[in-house]
Structure formats: structure tokens, C-alpha cells
């Protein structure tokens, strides 16, 4: 029973961090604001996280798990049809970029706020970016490209562009633009 209660407190802290960090930025949100939103205490917070950076990493891991679930589902639903999977990914990305409160990619945002590549936050960002590139490589494998890693890097660059364009540009157009770009990259 105690593990369940502690787990739920940790989940509340991560969920509060998710809401606040994404809406206001990592550096702008204090631990006290997260504690307040989660309805807990500093003592309880520090039982679960040694530092704010540990909470930021947990927040990024939470966001990564959600993205990975969606991407893996699209790849599975595409059943090896690269174009169908790209359409699913483009539609999903466009839907996210068009959602109320969209503020860009949480990983790009975190990298901008944590420039030290050796920090735990940047390592979490880099881990997720490598996962994305691996997912793109898995996606294009049936096409047997000459350099799957280069294709994955190109698709990652397009994905990054969608995240920025969805925030700064016209989010209603990003899905179609992303799909056109992906198709151009994967064409033999």
C-alpha cells in the first residue's frame, strides 16, 4: 500500500511538472510551484527527486514515453507501408501542432534551456532524439535505402522543423508540409 501511495505522489509531481514546465518553461517554474500544484510538501518532493533537474528528467521521460507510444502505434498500424506510416505520423504531428496550448517540442525547448550537453537534462533529450532516429530507421528499412542513418537524420530534421513551424507558423499546414518533405526524403 505504501509503494502505491508513494507512486501516486510521484506521478502527481510529474504530472504537475508536465503542465507547468510545458506551459511556462523549465527555468521559469520553481520546485515550489510544482509542489503547490501537486498538493504535496517539500519533504515529500525530495523523497522522490534529489533536485529540480531530476524532476525535469522525469518530465522529459514522461513526454518521451507518450511520443514513443504514438510513434510505435503508427509504425505498427502502417504494417510496413512506409507511405501509410508517414501519413499517420504527419497527421499525428499536425494534430499535436494544432492543439490548444502547443508550445513546440518539449525536447527542443529543454535543449534551449539547458545548453550544457553533459547535463542530465540534455542527456535525456539526446536519448530521446536517438530513439526518434532509430524509429525513423526502422520505418524506412523496408525501402532498403543506401544510407538508412542519413535518411533517418533527414527525417529527424523535418520532424524538428514541424515542431518549430507548428509553434511559430501556421499549424494547420504543418502535417501536409511534413508529409511532402518526408516523401521527398524517402523516394528512391
Q: What is the pTM of this model?
A: 0.90
Instruction: Note whether 14 and 53 are within 8 A (CB).
Output: no
What are the cell numbers at 21? Answer: 514546465
Q: Which residues of 157-183 are buried (b: 16+ CB within 10 A; e: fewer)?
A: ebbbebbebbbeeebeebbebbbebbe
Of the candidate ranges 124-128, 167-171, 180-184, the one whose mean pLDDT is the lowest:
167-171
SS (H, E, C) 42-92: HHHHHHHCCCHHHHHHHHHHHHHHHHHHHHHHHHHHHCCCHHHHHHHHHHH
Cα separation of the two ends of the chain: 56
pLDDT digits (tens, 9 = 90+) for 127-155: 999 999 999 999 999 999 999 999 999 99
Residue found by looking up cell 538508412 in the block? 148
Residue 175 Cα distances to 49, 58, 73, 101, 126, angstroms: 37, 29, 18, 17, 24
pLDDT digits (tens, 9 = 90+) for 86-118: 999 998 888 888 788 889 899 999 999 999 999
26, containing H or E segment: none
Amino acid at each position: 500500500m505504501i509503494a502505491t501511495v508513494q507512486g501516486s505522489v510521484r506521478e502527481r509531481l510529474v504530472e504537475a511538472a508536465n503542465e507547468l514546465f510545458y506551459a511556462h518553461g523549465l527555468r521559469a517554474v520553481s520546485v515550489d510551484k510544482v509542489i503547490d500544484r501537486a498538493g504535496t510538501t517539500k519533504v515529500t518532493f525530495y523523497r522522490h527527486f534529489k533536485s529540480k533537474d531530476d524532476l525535469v528528467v522525469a518530465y522529459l521521460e514522461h513526454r518521451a514515453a507518450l511520443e514513443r507510444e504514438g510513434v510505435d502505434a503508427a509504425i505498427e498500424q502502417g504494417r510496413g507501408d512506409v507511405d501509410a506510416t508517414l501519413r499517420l505520423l504527419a497527421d499525428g504531428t499536425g494534430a499535436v501542432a494544432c492543439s490548444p496550448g502547443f508550445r513546440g517540442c518539449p525536447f527542443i525547448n529543454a535543449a534551449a534551456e539547458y545548453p550544457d550537453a553533459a547535463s542530465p537534462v540534455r542527456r535525456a533529450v539526446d536519448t530521446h532524439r536517438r530513439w526518434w532516429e532509430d524509429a525513423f530507421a526502422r520505418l524506412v528499412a523496408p525501402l532498403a535505402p543506401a544510407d538508412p542513418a542519413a535518411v533517418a537524420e533527414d527525417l529527424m530534421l523535418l520532424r524538428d522543423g514541424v515542431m518549430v513551424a507548428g509553434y511559430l507558423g501556421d499549424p494547420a499546414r504543418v502535417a501536409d508540409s511534413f508529409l511532402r518533405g518526408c516523401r521527398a526524403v524517402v523516394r528512391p
